[in-house]
Structures are given as structure tokens and as C-alpha cells.
Amino acid sequence: MLPMSLTPAQQRRLEKLATDAGRTPHAMLRFVLRDGFDFCEWEVREGTAAERDANRRGYIPHQEVKRQVKAVLAGPCPEGPCGGLSGHHAPLKPT
């Protein structure tokens, strides 16, 4: 493998990305090399935003999601036999 080095700006960017992702710079470097800085930064921002949103709105336990999906798929549809896939059913809500 060829030796490589990061510029000081890239090193700072990697360290900030690693901090934001809760990883070490060494662990984060693997993803940056594979996907690039821009994608990794976007992914961490989106993941952080999703986590904040879930903490604010609440999570739906896996078993509850399964129960609600089964009820939608098994229940009668007022629009006809769509199997619950036509998009007019109410979204899942935390209990």
C-alpha cells in the first residue's frame, strides 16, 4: 500500500468528523477513504438530525411497528383491497 498523508486542513476535518460521529479519527478514516469527506459529513449530519428528531418525537418499539403493520395489512381497506400499500393509510404513530 502506498503511504499517504493528510493536509492539515484534511486532518482537522477528519478530527471534527470523528468527534461528531463519536468515533476515533483512525476509525473514521476508513469511511472517508471509501466514501469521501462530503458524503461522510452529510451522513453524520443526517444521522444526528434523525436521532434528535426521534428523541423529541419518541421511538416506536419494533414489536409495536410489527403489530401496526400487520393490522393495516390484514384489516379491511375503505378504498378497496389495496393491501395497505396505496398510501392513504395513516402513518404509524408512537404509542
Block means of pLDDT (10 residues each) for the chain, 95 residues, are 84 97 96 97 96 91 90 70 58 58
Overall pTM > 0.75: no
Rounded Cα gap, residues 88 and 17, in angstroms = 40
| Helix residue ranges per DSSP H, 1-95 | 8-21, 25-35, 37-57, 62-74
With residue 43 as reference, give the H or E element that holds it. helix 37-57
Q: Where do the structural domains in the chain lie, given as residue ranges?
A: 8-57, 59-95
Residue 30: the pLDDT is 95
Question: C-alpha cell of 51?
Answer: 436521532
Q: How many residues does the chain have?
A: 95
